[in-house]
Structure 1
Amino acid sequence: MTMTMSEPTADPPSRTLVVSVVLFYIVAALAMIVANKWVLNATSAALFLLLVQLLISAFLLWIADLFRLFQDRLTLDIATCKALIPLIALNVTGLSFSNYTLKFVDTSFYQVARGLVLPFTVAASFFLLQTRPSVRILSACALVTAGFFIGVLLDGTPLSLVGIGFGVVSSLITAVATVVIKKSLPLVNDSSILLAWYSNVLSAVVLVPVMFVAGEGPAIFALLRGAPAPGAPEGTPSELPTFLWGSLVTGVVGFAMSVAGPLSIKVTSPISHMISAAVRGVASSFLGLWLFHDLISSGRAASIAVVLGGSIFYTWIKNEETKAAKTTGGYERVPMNEIDLERGSQLEERD
């Protein structure tokens, strides 16, 4: 049916809203990376740190709900929990691998180790949302991919292959999770706050057995007793003070991320959300140089520059394609159109 001027249409978010949300996400994510690295430098219980962050974030969401700070009330029902199992599995795995990546690599290399997020997201959008990328978008992805391999192969400082492996897998999971979040929003009435609540609570529940299976039990018990970590040299101070302060800071920032992340994906496209993540990664590299005295070799600097260049190239391409879409009555957030077609069947499944 041909759309007329009198028919109601869904207006896309304003540029001011999109820019504000993206900036909020970048600042919160940067604070999360720096605070996480500070704690992970002092503790070997990376998954336990993640669990405490999730619990603090869920508690703050609950407090905010008590004071009616959100339009949507927080609920928990079994049907929705079951429907969100794929998202929770991806969330736990992705966050765990991301923490391990940051634990094994420098803050300045974190951007490089997770440099394949954009290409993976384009691929995930193609396979899961049937969003066909243009040739120019593929060329931007190729440039970003080249930046990743420049950093891995030409970095002059010793690299952790384990950290790089965690980064690649984390990038893939993050890309898929971004698309799954977009498709999961209808299950919670398009409420990013409610989705953040479910994600934090259910991820914390799933993470409890996972961290013991991963072998963190001895480190956790030593931490709670105020004793040095297992295998630490004699006289090593307890990690507990740093862990407590770091958990508090990262938990509060995690609360901000719980709001900012899904909201960013909701008002932008999955790929645009990943662009903000790329900018965040570049900024974190400079923060690593300043705060943690990381070494940035010429290869690492070139890698960061190429990844940033590919991201800027992609942003320009999307801007041009958006202008072209507007002249033909198109809509920039193509993936969301695909989701709208499936909204009825998805809402029927949530209860």
Structure 2
Amino acid sequence: MATASSLGLTERQAVILTVGFYMVTALIMVACNKWALNAIELPWLLLWCQMLIAVILLRLADYGGLFSIPQIKADVAKALVPLIAINVLGLGVNTLCLLYVDTSFYQIARGLVLPFTVIFAYTLLGQPSSSLVLVSCFTVFCGFYTGVTTEINVSQLGVFFGVVSSITTSLHAIVIKKSLGAVNNSSIHLSYYNNFLSLLATTPIVFLSGESSLVMEKLATEGFQAFHTFIAACLVTGVFGFLVNLAGFMQISKTSPTTHMISGAVRGVLQTLLGYFAFGDAITSGRLFGIVLILSGGAFYTYAKDQEMQANNAKPTYIPMTQQDLDNDEERNKVGKA
């Protein structure tokens, strides 16, 4: 794989490019998901198509020698059942939340990820938090409360799915940490198992949700042209879903978890602007203030954890927010041992 030096890039330029690549791909994913759902409301079929494309691209990458993927083993799959359950539920409620709320309000509806992460880190892992971290969580909660209570036409169902999404996202990092051991700490192997098994788990949901019947009904009444936009969006989101995973791995290999969280905050701002300019979302003063508080709380959390690391002068004690954060821990350990 090409390195920054082989491409004639400085380390700083490589960091800027990888962070930019991550934010652009993630934003395109949100935009295309909303595009597909606006065309036709098939959230579970959309997820199914995205995971199918991800599995196909992972297989093609394996054939091309980019990296190797494992053969599915029953004992490993059994050990990963909790991860698959959380992943399918999380992806489902994420998409349902986006279905019922505006793109710009999506940031608020899923705004409780940080508070739930801190709560679960303490209750499930026994990791206490400093007073500064608790202040950041309170700031985020105030942003969520402000954004939700000041909206007149907000979908209560969308907010509910957003809260559930925050919970599943928070639990996801904890489950991933326990699941890595089942695949010899290989993030690529875990990604393949995750996509392949989630694809299988989502298949019956597509039928049980009634979406398969809706597809047959539309095909009978409107023909294949009714799905042109939806299929196009599925293809784009499937490809960019794969690229988001790749971008995440690239970003965390070039940056720190702090940078990853900061880029996430910047992405939240850009996502709000995307909703305003691309989808005509209304940006009320309450919504804007709520988003500012949520992003400020996230930024203050980053500052608080950075202060803790400097004070301890030891291995970072931040709470992993994503799979990439966990991968970065592993990389730091390798570098330290070398």
Superposition TM-score, scaled by structure 2 size: 0.83
Residue identity opposite 1:217 in structure 2 = S
Aligned equivalents of 1:110 and 1:295: distance in 2? Answer: 13
Which of 281, 285, 289 is equivalent to 1:294?
281
Residue identity opposite 2:96 in structure 1 = Y
Partners of 2:258 and 2:302 within 8 A in 1: no
Offset from partner CA, 1:83-140 (integer Å, 9 cap, x none): 1000000000000100000011000000000000111111222223322111110110
The percent identity for this pair of structures is 43
Partners of 1:107 and 1:294 within 8 A in 2: yes
Equivalences for 1:147-186 in 2 at 5 Å?
147-155=143-151, 157-186=152-181
Which of 21, 25, 33 is equivalent to 1:36?
33
Match of 1:81 in 2: 77
Matched position secondary structure for 2:154 = coil
CA separation of 1:219/1:161 partners in 2, compared to 1, >3 Å: closer, same or farther? same
Superposition TM-score, scaled by structure 1 size: 0.80
Matched position secondary structure for 1:158 = coil
The offset of 1:73, in angstroms, is 3.4
Equivalences for 1:103-252 in 2 at 5 Å?
103-155=99-151, 157-223=152-218, 225=219, 227-228=221-222, 238-252=225-239
2:17 aligned with 1:26: no
The offset of 1:18, in angstroms, is 8.3
Aligned equivalents of 1:18 and 1:85: distance in 2? Answer: 35
Aligned equivalents of 1:41 and 1:84: distance in 2? Answer: 33
The offset of 1:187, in angstroms, is 1.7
The offset of 1:271, in angstroms, is 9.2
User: What runs of 5+ residues in structure 1 fail to find an aligned partner?
Assistant: 1-13, 230-236, 344-351
Aligned equivalents of 2:85 and 2:17: distance in 1? Answer: 30
Equivalences for 1:263-342 in 2 at 5 Å?
276-326=263-313, 330-333=314-317
CA separation of 1:284/1:320 partners in 2, compared to 1, >3 Å: closer, same or farther? same
Aligned equivalents of 2:202 and 2:14: distance in 1? Answer: 34
Matched position secondary structure for 2:39 = coil
Offset from partner CA, 1:136-170 (integer Å, 9 cap, x none): 10110000010000000012x41111111111001
Partners of 2:305 and 2:318 within 8 A in 1: no
Q: RMSD of aligned C-alpha atoms?
A: 2.9
CA separation of 1:182/1:254 partners in 2, compared to 1, >3 Å: closer, same or farther? same
CA separation of 1:143/1:322 partners in 2, compared to 1, >3 Å: closer, same or farther? same
Partners of 2:108 and 2:144 within 8 A in 1: yes
Match of 1:3 in 2: none
Residue identity opposite 1:94 in structure 2 = G
Aligned equivalents of 2:50 and 2:145: distance in 1? Answer: 32
Match of 2:8 in 1: none
Match of 1:233 in 2: none
Match of 1:347 in 2: none
Aligned equivalents of 1:274 and 1:207: distance in 2? Answer: 30
Aligned equivalents of 1:162 and 1:122: distance in 2? Answer: 25
Match of 1:63 in 2: 60
